[in-house]
Structure 1
Amino acid sequence: MKRRHFLRAAVVGAGVTAFGNTLSPSALADPAQHGTSPYGPLGQADGNGIQLPSGFTSRVVARSGQQVAGTGYPWHRAPDGGAVFADGDGWIYVSNSEITPGGGASAIRFGSGGDIVGAHRILDGTRQNCAGGAMPWQTWLSCEETDRGYVFECDPRGPASSAVRRAAMGRFKHEAAAADPVRKVIYQTEDVSDGCFYRFVPDTWGELSSGTLQVLTAGSATSGSFTWTTVADPDGYPTATRKQVSGAKRFNGGEGLHYANDTAWFTTKGDNRVWQVNLASGTYELAYDDSLVSPGNPPLTGVDNVTGASSGDLFVAEDGGNMEICIITPDDVVAPFLRINGQSGSEITGPAFTPAGDRLYFSSQRGTSGSSSGGITYEVRGPFRTA
């Protein structure tokens, strides 16, 4: 039984706590391998330079430095991590800006038919806002990817002045965040070569002003069991947060993070891996490792941002590589889902689905120019799998 099928069966068949910490190493699966995409091969590039499977279409919804259509609002430079929030009968796409100084985050509002009805700023005056995460109570965590950076909690509907700094979540080189409503914690990745995987345990769920910061502790192997250990000084000075706990497991350049079904998946760009943390069983393993793909060249390199669909499929964006978003299926098959042509000096960022699961938003951070001023934000629409 494949790894994500096993998790799904365990949760549905026996309840989320039935397996406790009893999952044996023999239940761990091999990393995903190159195979045929459930969406079929990529077609010829469309007018936006994007190769897509049959039945899918793309459109440009924003360009850095240009006004978002019909709004008068100039889209930010270097669009990075993003998320989608329900908004009445429409939705809002939120996007960070990975620049210093300036940074911050912006949002585009869409009507029920996908028409753009507004755009606005939701965070100002921060630095190098890379990724982040959507919270169940409908806020956006925007994370600073700087030494001793902060997490900022933002209202997707704005204004920017309503954003709040969440210092209790730790000061380090933040990347992504994801909420676990079962254990009532927030997971975080750290973008350094000897980074940690963190969880923040709020004193009150839904309120992030106070709580406990912990790191995952485990051996040096690529699979096994783990525990959580408290970081004594989340402020990270004079000793960096990642260096305070003996036995903290090191991850080479933590990037994107996605939580679903008692599982957290996150990427590490330094070694082109996708990690799977099984929260119900207290184990971790590799979901993908480009050095273990055979035969042929690995389809996914430069792993970066990641999101998931209701089908259980993971969508992993590349920083470089072939400028692809690749899919990793619940059957452990990895294959390209889309490819952007003519933008080799860029990276793909901020993939996020609408609540209905029929539209995927993402950005090319530097577009065709290779500069932060050349960012392009796209929408792809089509028959995405729901099961």
Structure 2
Amino acid sequence: MDRRNFLRGAVFGTSAAVFGGTLMHGAAYAAPAQNGTGPYGGLLAADANGIMLPSGFTSRVIARSGRTVSGTSYTWHGAPDGGACFADGTGWIYVSNSELATGGGASAVKFNASGSVTGAYRVLSNTRNNCAGGATPWNTWLSCEEVSRGYVYETDPWGAKAAVRRGAMGQFKHEAAAADPVRKVIYMTEDESDGCFYRFIPATWGDLSSGTLQVLVAGTGTTGSFTWTNVPDPDGSPTYTRDQVSGAKIFNGGEGCHYASDTVWFTTKGDNRVWRLNLRSSTYELAYDDSLVTNGSAPLTGVDNVTGSSSGDLFVAEDGGNMEICVITPAEVVAPFLRVTGQSGSEITGPAFSPDGKRLYFSSQRGTSGSSSGGITYEVTGPFRTTA
């Protein structure tokens, strides 16, 4: 038995005793989320786009890699990855990263109040492997390079201002970012098997040109308390940021990150876990672990990008698994929300809700072809709940 499976097995035997606290909006739970019936019911047969959805929901294709976005002259990028939505008057904008090793960057699609596409354009160019990122409260998109000693680029979703490299946020294998307007910090994940979890404290909130990079310090268990310690050399040279602070907690492949209500959730793909940090009590615990599902097969595997809805539900996309976006509810139930069929060589990326919460955007990074040139970006519309 390898070290990872041994540790996860040890956790399994004591989960009921050690997992206390809350998942979202004060809902109590005593163990990581368990398999159950989700708030939207079961999935129906695949629609014309190959997507299985609950009753009342429909899908449409927004863009395809290498093709012009319908109604525009803009060619959509390859390998679509992390994304976010921004209000634009009565309409909105969906920004999507490109995880290409050459070119990379990010693009945007603009919608009017009725949801029709009115424009598409580039917002970031000439970067590498732009994987996930995060939106800021001042309406910029943080696009993260998933390469060793990669950077965070602050971009303008409207494409009017040039993107700016934010070196003070550290050079490491960036994955996702989530802004906390209460503590005025940005949380960040690191996609390494021995990665860390970080926060950046800007010298001035709203200006990311300077500030302090810190790393989470905690024990080796799956629950406990944590503190923050300054990273001495955020540029990660000659020593990687994850190796500079003694006691920095190691996470196995940091992926998506989401903040809401004094809580930050993030995923780790190496062990199929969703972690929860209670920022009021400075404690951490598991919100989900596929090996701790006790009532049937784990519905969520290959955890990756994550977003949240106004109801307090988490929507977690799969990299692999059976190409699902699963929902984790405040009642600690985990269940499939949708499944993409016929695309087993791909992964689901970039889930993000429109500002009114009625539309969910996401991409299949490699589509039916299994190639970065075959990416497909979708929209799902339906009766998303606003309260749990």
State the distance in 1 between where 2:373 and 2:162 align: 26
Tell me which residue corresponds to 2:22: 3
Tell me which residue corresponds to 1:81: 82
Tell me which residue corresponds to 2:169: 169
1:2–1:332: 8 Å Cα contact kept in structure 2?
no
Deviation of 1:4 after TM superposition, in Å, equals: 2.9
Tell me which residue corresponds to 1:98: 99
Tell me which residue corresponds to 1:47: 48
1:4–1:312: 8 Å Cα contact kept in structure 2?
no
Tell me which residue corresponds to 1:35: 36
* Letter of the 1:175 counterpart: E
Instruction: Provide structure 1 residue ranges, at least 5 long, that are not aligned to the other structure.
Output: 10-26
State the distance in 1 between where 2:353 and 2:186 align: 20
Deviation of 1:28 after TM superposition, in Å, equals: 7.0
Q: Does 1:267 align with 2:267?
A: yes
* Letter of the 1:208 counterpart: L
2:68–2:75: 8 Å Cα contact kept in structure 1?
yes
Cα-to-partner distance string for 1:86-145 (whole Å, 9 max, x where unaligned) = 001100000000011110000000000000000000000100000000000000000000
Secondary structure (helix, strand or coil) at the match of 1:307 reads strand
Deviation of 1:2 after TM superposition, in Å, equals: 7.1
State the distance in 2 between where 1:44 and 1:146 align: 39
Deviation of 1:294 after TM superposition, in Å, equals: 1.2
- Alignment CA distance shift 1:2-1:232 (3 Å): closer
TM-score (structure 2 length as normaliser): 0.93
State the distance in 1 between where 2:251 and 2:71 align: 43
RMSD after superposition: 1.1
Deviation of 1:8 after TM superposition, in Å, equals: 3.6
2:167–2:235: 8 Å Cα contact kept in structure 1?
yes
* Letter of the 1:92 counterpart: I
2:23–2:287: 8 Å Cα contact kept in structure 1?
no
Query: % of aligned pairs identical?
Result: 76
* Letter of the 1:200 counterpart: F
Moved over 6 A (4+): none
Tell me which residue corresponds to 1:300: 300
Cα-to-partner distance string for 1:235-270 (whole Å, 9 max, x where unaligned) = 000000000000000000000000000000000000
* Letter of the 1:77 counterpart: G
Tell me which residue corresponds to 1:245: 245
Q: Does 1:342 align with 2:361?
A: no
1:84–1:352: 8 Å Cα contact kept in structure 2?
yes
TM-score (structure 1 length as normaliser): 0.94
- Alignment CA distance shift 1:198-1:28 (3 Å): farther
* Letter of the 1:195 counterpart: G
Cα-to-partner distance string for 1:27-67 (whole Å, 9 max, x where unaligned) = 87310000001100000000000000000000000000000
Instruction: Provide structure 2 residue ranges, at least 5 long, that are not aligned to the other structure.
Output: 1-19
Secondary structure (helix, strand or coil) at the match of 1:294 reads coil
Deviation of 1:296 after TM superposition, in Å, equals: 1.8
- Alignment CA distance shift 1:187-1:380 (3 Å): same
State the distance in 2 between where 1:192 and 1:164 align: 25
Tell me which residue corresponds to 1:316: 316
Tell me which residue corresponds to 2:155: 154
Deviation of 1:3 after TM superposition, in Å, equals: 1.7
| Correspondence list, 1:58-207, <5 A | 58-159=59-160, 162-207=162-207
